[in-house]
Structure 1
Amino acid sequence: MTTTTTTRSVARDDARVGDIRGALGTIRRDDVTSRRGPRRKLMTLLAIVGPGLIVMVGDNDAGAFATYGQAGQNYGTALLWTLLLLVPVLYVNQEMVVRLGAVTGVGHARLILERFGRFWGAFSVIDLVILNALTVVTEFIGITLAAGYLGLPKVPAVLLAAAVIVAAAYTGSFRRFERIAVTFCAGSLLLVPVYVMAHPATSQMARGFLTPTMPGGAGQLSAVMLLIIGIVGTTVAPWQLFFQQSYIVDKRITPRFMRYEKADLWLGVLIVVIGAGAIMGAAAAAFAGTSGSGTYTDSTGLAAGIAAHAGNAAGVLFAIALLDASIIGAFAVSLATSYALGDALGVKHSLHRGIKQAKGFYAVYALLICTAATLVLLPGTPLGLLTQGVQVLAGVLLPSASMFLLLLCNDKDVLGPWVNGRGRNAFAALVVAVLVTLSVILTTSVLFPDITTTAILAIIAGCGLAAAAALGFALTTTRRTVAAPINRQDRENWRMTLLAELGRAPMSAGRKLGIGALRLYLAVAMILVTIKLVQVALGH
């Protein structure tokens, strides 16, 4: 049966219908004129910019600073080539989320809940809430590190940062929140002058980007491999999927502006790669030939090393950029949690609503921030254990999040003419398979810190065989059925129908097998994670 292209109504919060009021411009709901001419297109892009920029820059958070900084300090410019791997990884997953948000008009958690049932909906949200709460703690650790380097007292700095983060969302205005968030995103560009001051050799930077190498001897191979996996893995977090889809819906972006939102996403990807390259390059130049090379400690040590090499101003700018990144990360992660819980519980959850109209939504947001700030300030809080918890839970949640993302983007009832085509499916499936493999390795490395190179290669081989088997099964199944052609005309007017009318997603034998395997993986992973965290907590 051919997919229809008629406009259909979408169940959505009435606060999420109306003019697009972005940080940099407005598009009226009744403005149906074509976007012709450079000026008209630019004004439209400025109004749309926000979701992709915030979600990408938000992922260059305190944890990313540590990962990129460690690569630069310990291995110079040798791992810059990994940043080129980030481009497809960063874009592919979030592009699928862009389509889901604009076409369906509902959040990611709600789609999983309605199409795959309460178990998967509850699992996705509960795991996300726990993971995000721990992630916000790591952002406040970044805030304390930056404040310590800048000579600011810890308690006032943390409390002030928490107040700024909460106040940004509590304005009761989507536009005001986005203007604050975009301003902080612009602050991430402070890394550019840091790079210029550090002045790494252009030839070395070019060689690092264009010549893939594995630095270090055979004894360091497993450590280098884990760091490479960390560089790629730190760019994709489950919260990003939930944040961007809900934020696009909240901003009132429809399929009509799809290409502008994709341009917004590309802008975010570009800034992320520039920031990551600047951190690696500055750290490489600062520590080359010094006793600090190969002895990474934390982001404070990075700032001190950069200051010793390029002057105090460079160190201060780096610390301010770290503070800025931690605040952006806390913005995005907390908001993703509030959106997901609002989806799951069916309560009002929009930045267009005031506090009185969406009490639960704003309460969750503030509770996350206040809890994280309190934990960081409390003496004796096991911050190292919490950081490990972030790594492990992200590894556990990412495979399920990736699988449901692919399933939803192939669901014709959900996306209609916007579903993945064969080429896009092949590439997206490859990216997801790589991410799942990296996730399994990262999780395993936390559970078993002495993991060897042989074990890492064995995991890669095993995941590769599993992916090949899944591909073979999919090809065999596809050959038995003849898919109806997809009518992609007039896609701008196609919207998903009411979720209540769709019901559960149809389950083929392949889908049942995949979801069953996912259940088994999650059961084993959660048992191992629980055992490991208990061991660490008891000091073993």
Structure 2
Amino acid sequence: MGWLDELKRLGPGLVTGAADDDPSGIATYSQAGAQFGTGLLWTMLFAYPLMVAVQLASARIGRVTGNDLAGHLKEVMPRWLVYGLVLLLLLANTINIGADLAAMGEASALVVGRGHHVFTIGFALVTLGLQLTIPYRRYANILKWLTLVLLAYVALVFLVKVDWTAAATGLFIPRITRQQEIITVVAILGTTISPFLFFWQAAQEVEELDQVVARKPLRKARDQAEDALQRMRWDTFGGMAVSNIVALAIMLGTAATLHAAGKQDIQSAADAAKALQPVAGNLAFGIFSLGIIGTGLLAVPVLAGSSAYAVCGVGGYPASLECKPHQAKLFYAVIAFGILVGIVVDWLPISPMKALFWSAVANGVAAVPVLAGLMLVVSRRKIMGEFVASPMLKIFGWIATAVMTVAAIATIVFPD
């Protein structure tokens, strides 16, 4: 099999990894680069194996069982806890959608010169319309093509003057010297290991099963296991690598420009784009703005979709982007709710960073028990059969759970 064929096999993992670099994540990475230069690049190397482990566990559950993550969580956790976690996920995702839509509107207004709220509403309606009208098999291809916009941030690195010695030092030598760096590390972990990604990737593996008649859940088709597990590993390792390379590019680009110029007060992704213009020129500004819009178009449907999969999964309702709206009414109602309420968030008198802070708190609270439940599910033979997680997957999955527990505590200890 050639490398082009291998690239075609990329799917749920690639889209999940790309959605991780949403406008909210761009804001976090931009803050890290602007405030601390190359000093926190090491966080992406640290996070990579943890991201791979939890996303691979999520994908494995969907592919092996043919069912979503939320439904299986009820088998290993009290129902009241699962319902509470899904409610937190819905809250956090809706706030995140609002922040992402606002960033997309701001970035467009910066380029055009006006129309922030008009662009925000327009992007919201476009993403909602696509999810309501296009079946999964076509929509998945749109999302995969949208991941190409992330190359804009890699290109940015080649437009600015980078101190590669400092970059290598920051990448391979971990360092935390002050409280604000701790807060930023927690924010980085929160935006890279987030509950909505777990639900989305598991659900996408289930969606992929429905696209090929001969493809069955691995518990019912042992002969498909070798190829399926190899494809999931390639997809997840590759998707998370794309996510982290882009995050590194954003941190490195803002370190080489904004930090070097003393512009450290970055409150949003649009702020970073605006600050880049006088420092790095119109081309860098345009690339950064294009990236915000493109990643937002990718991330908003993923955020809304993950909420819908979780809500319907926990209640046992039909949930598929392949269904028409009248066939999965609650599923599409949750998607519409998340996006339309996200528009309202853009109009509220609250700063985008404050909104993202509370979103991060909700995600941090939800991530720990969801990760614990995820690892219990993927390790339980009654659910997974012979396809329980490997010892290495369990080790890194539980390390990720422990790290996110520390991060959640740090969110409380260092609230701002």
Q: 2:233 maps to what in 1?
A: 262
CA contact (8 A) 1:112 1:120 kept: no
Query: Does the C-alpha gap of structure 1 residues 132 and 287 become closer, same or farther in structure 2, counting only changes over 3 Å?
Result: closer
Pick which of 177-186 and 280-289 moved more: 280-289
Aligned twin of 1:202: 164
* Equivalent residue, structure 2, for 1:335: 305
Name structure 2 gaps, 5 residues minimum.
Answer: 210-214, 219-223
- Specify whether residues 172 and 300 from structure 1 end up closer, same or farther in structure 2 by C-alpha distance, changes over 3 A only: closer
The answer to whether residue 60 in structure 2 is matched with residue 103 in structure 1 is: no
**Amino acid in the other structure paired with 1:355:** P
Match of 1:400 in 2: 369
Q: Secondary structure at the match of 2:158?
A: helix
Match of 1:232 among 184, 189, 203: 189
Q: Is the 8 A contact 2:149 2:294 kept in 1?
A: yes
Answer yes or no: is 1:244 the counterpart of 2:244.
Answer: no
Residue 529 of structure 1 is matched in structure 2 by none
Report if the CA contact (8 A) 1:109-1:124 is conserved: no
Q: CA separation in 1, counterparts of 2:185 and 2:308?
A: 32
User: C-alpha offsets along residues 342-364 of structure 1, whole Å, 9 cap, x if unaligned?
Assistant: 21222221112122222221222
- Does the alignment pair 1:169 with 2:139? no
CA shift digits 1:50-103 (9 cap, x unpaired)? 210111111111221111111111121122122111211210111111111111
Task: Find the aligned partners of 2:186 and 2:353 in 1 and give their Cα distance.
Answer: 20
1:58-69 maps to which residues of 2 (within 5 A)?
58-69=19-30
From 239, 250, 253, give the equivalent of 1:282: 253
2:49 to 77, 80, 88: 88
Superposed displacement of residue 230, structure 1: 1.8
For residues 407 and 348 of structure 2, the distance between their equivalents in structure 1, rounded to whole angstroms, comes to 34
Q: Deviations over 1:391-432 (max 9, x none)?
A: 211111111101101111221101121213444433322221
Amino acid at match of 1:269: M
Are the aligned partners of 2:27 and 2:266 in contact in 1 as well (CA < 8 Å)? no
**Counterpart for residue 305 of structure 1:** 275
Alpha-carbon distance in structure 2 between the residues aligned to 1:112 and 1:289? 47
1:223 and 2:180 matched? yes
Amino acid at match of 1:438: A
Larger helix proportion of the pair = 2
Structure 2 distance, partners of 1:297, 1:121, is 33
- 1:308-355 CA-to-partner distances (Å, cap 9, x unmatched) read 232101101101101222222211110001111221222221112122
Q: How many residues align?
A: 401
- Change beyond 3 A, Cα 1:386–1:199: same
TM-score by length of 2: 0.90
Single out whichever of 249-258 and 129-138 deviates more from structure 2: 249-258
2:309 alignment partner AA: Y
Query: Are positions 1:132 and 2:57 aligned together?
Result: no
Aligned to 1:389: 358
Letter in structure 2 aligned against 1:91: V
Identify if the C-alpha distance between structure 1 residues 78 and 242 changes in structure 2 by more than 3 Å, giving closer, same or farther.
same
Question: Cα–Cα, structure 1 residues 309 and 364, in superposed 2: closer, same or farther, change >3 Å?
Answer: same
Q: Distance in 2 between matches of 1:48 and 1:84?
A: 25
Q: Which amino acid is 1:415 matched to?
A: M
- Structure 1, unpaired ranges of 5+: 1-37, 216-220, 450-540
Between the aligned residues of both structures, percent identity stands at 23
Q: Distance in 2 between matches of 1:308 and 1:207?
A: 28
Distance 1:335 1:306, change over 3 A: same
Instruction: List per-residue Cα deviations over 1:420-452 (Å, max 9, x = no partner).
Output: 344443332222111211122124322xx4xxx
Instruction: Report the CA distance between 1:154 and its aligned residue.
Output: 1.3
* Alpha-carbon distance between aligned partners in 1 of 2:32 and 2:119, rounded to the nearest angstrom: 28
What is the CA deviation profile of residues 197-245 of structure 1, one whole-angstrom value per residue up to 9, with x for unaligned ones?
1231333322221233336xxxxx1111221222223201111111111
Cα deviations by residue, 1:472-517 (Å, 9 ceiling, x for unpaired): xxxxxxxxxxxxxxxxxxxxxxxxxxxxxxxxxxxxxxxxxxxxxx
Larger Rg: 1
Contact 1:91–1:269 (8 Å) recurs in 2: yes
Give 1:353's match in structure 2, choosing from 286, 308, 323. 323
Counterpart residue number, 1:484? none
| RMSD, aligned α-carbons | 2.1
Query: Which residue does the alignment assign to 1:431?
Result: 400
Q: State the alpha-carbon separation in 2 of the partners of residues 297 and 117 from structure 1.
A: 39
Distance 1:343 1:313, change over 3 A: same
Cα distance change on mapping 1:223 and 1:117 into 2, 3 Å: closer
Using the alignment, how far apart are the partners of 1:349 and 1:422 within structure 2? Answer: 32
- Residue pair 1:286, 1:309 contacting (<8 A) in 2 also: yes
2: distance between equivalents of 1:194 and 1:344? Answer: 42
Q: What TM-score, normalized to structure 1?
A: 0.70
